């Protein structure tokens, strides 16, 4: 089975070397602590530092995976699916860190935003776990077509979640922008987040 290349073909891409489902779950668990224990912006920021630490550790895995070349088509789609979960983590960590220093968000809003990211990342990670089970040819008796049907579905659904995380992020940034606009302080928001997201406002 072509997908087996991700298990045996390259040391950089083996599930057993670094399990991306565990990486994502660690970020989810730590973010849940933010939701449960954060009462102030400072408290939220302190808790978020652990999320950022986990993200930096997982980023090494995703950066290595990006360098894996010459995979057959089936395995390439599995690789791209894994990388999209990494991209979801990337969108969350980078933008939420900026939101923590944004005066236009109240502490309770920051907790609610973190909760939203937790749910989106959690759904993506559930699909990644399903993908892991299907790719591992020793666990299921499936035809190549049945296996690739699942791979295709996971790929499409995680792509949808990735796009939803982008939309969710930009919607939250737009709230800050609109509040800053009322106070005639949009330059600070633009400098904080950059202008890449401006087209969504």
Q: Give domain status of residue 9, yes or no.
A: no
Task: Specify the range with the lowest mean pLDDT, choosing from 60-64, 80-84, 116-120, 121-125.
Answer: 60-64
Q: 167-173 long-range CB contacts below 8 Å, 24 or more apart?
A: 167/200, 168/116, 168/117, 168/120, 169/91, 169/92, 169/95, 169/197, 170/197, 170/200, 170/201, 171/200, 172/95, 172/99, 172/113, 173/95, 173/99, 173/197, 173/200, 173/201
Task: Report the number of distinct structural domains present in the chain.
Answer: 1
Range of the domain at 172: 20-189
- Which one is predicted more confidently, 11 or 199? 199
> Is 162 among the domain residues?
yes
> Does 28 reside within a domain?
yes
Instruction: Tell me the whole-structure pTM to 2 decimals.
Output: 0.74
In a domain? residue 68: yes
Residue 154 lies in a domain: yes
The band of 162, judged by pLDDT with boundaries at 50, 70 and 90, is very high
* Average pLDDT for the chain: 77
Q: Is 201 within a domain? A: no
**Residue 199 belongs to some domain of the structure:** no
Residue 156 lies in a domain: yes
């Amino acid at each position: 089975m072509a997908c087996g290349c991700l298990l045996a073909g390259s040391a950089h891409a083996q599930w057993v070397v670094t399990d991306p489902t565990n990486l994502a779950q660690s970020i989810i668990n730590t973010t849940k602590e933010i939701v449960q224990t954060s009462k102030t912006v400072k408290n939220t920021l302190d808790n978020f530092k652990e999320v950022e630490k986990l993200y930096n550790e997982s980023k090494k895995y995703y950066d290595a995976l990006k360098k894996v070349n010459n995979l057959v088509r089936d395995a390439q789609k599995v690789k791209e699916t894994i990388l999209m979960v990494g991209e979801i983590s990337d969108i969350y960590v980078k933008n939420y860190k900026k939101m923590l220093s944004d005066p236009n968000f109240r502490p309770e809003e920051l907790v609610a935003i973190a909760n939203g990211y937790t749910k989106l990342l959690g759904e993506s990670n559930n699909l990644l776990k399903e993908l892991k089970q299907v790719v591992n040819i020793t666990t299921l008796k499936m035809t190549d077509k049945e296996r690739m049907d699942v791979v295709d579905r996971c790929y499409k659904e995680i792509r949808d979640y990735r796009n939803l995380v982008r939309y969710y992020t930009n919607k939250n940034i737009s709230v800050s922008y609109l509040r800053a606009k009322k106070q005639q302080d949009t330059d600070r928001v633009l400098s904080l987040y950059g202008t890449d997201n401006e087209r969504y406002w």
